[in-house]
Structure 1
Amino acid sequence: MTEFIWKGEPVTFLEGETIASALRRAGHECLGRSANGQSARYFCGIGQCQGCLVSTGDGAPVEACITRAMPQRIVEPAFESMMERT
């Protein structure tokens, strides 16, 4: 297994696993806050609800449920990271 970094802590993942799946398996249900202040979380699993948006440092937030985990990628809650930059 390989790891990515979630909020400064390593999270292991299986080859082909999504960020959301690896986070859920590691016991991380809350993915920060959504744009409207509600708890961000894994919900639909197909990217439609955008309830699981995270920041990977590569630009715009991505849906964790459809984005494959990558080794050593730094993943943060999307809107908490954006608020810190302003």
Structure 2
Amino acid sequence: MNGHFFWNGAPVAFRPGETIAAALLRAGVVDLGQAHGAPGARVFCGIGACQGCVVAIANAAPVEACLTPAREGLRLGPLPAIGADHA
């Protein structure tokens, strides 16, 4: 393994050149969920066309997990549900 990023606070190992989605799937994470009970996101097409795997990165814009290379120390989680309270 090359490093770790964090999904919902839990460390996830990744290999060199691996995308966030590939590392999550290898770690057994298939539901990329959404906050507040919204329908869960999933890796579907694997090429960025469907945007079903968009995840939030702490202090950065959301990304497509299937296209984004895993990097050491990233803090990732589900997107907030539409209409969720952001107060």
When normalised by structure 1's length, the TM-score is 0.85
Contact 1:20 1:64 in 2 (8 A): yes
Q: Which amino acid aligns with 1:50?
A: Q
- What SS is found at the alignment partner of 1:16? coil
Equivalent residue for 2:32? Answer: 31
- Greater share of strand: 1
Equivalent residue for 1:78? Answer: 79
Q: Which amino acid aligns with 1:16?
A: G
Unaligned runs of 5+ residues in structure 1 are none
> Paired residues, what number?
83
Equivalent residue for 2:22? Answer: 21
- Quickly say closer, same or farther: Cα 1:84–1:60, change in 2 above 3 A: farther
- Greater share of helix: 1
CA displacement 1:32-61 (0-9 Å, x = unmatched): 139xx3220000011110000101124321
Provide the identity percentage: 48
When normalised by structure 2's length, the TM-score is 0.84
Moved over 6 A (4+): none
* Distance across 2 between alignment mates of 1:72 and 1:18: 14
Which deviates further from its counterpart, 49-58 or 11-20?
A: 49-58
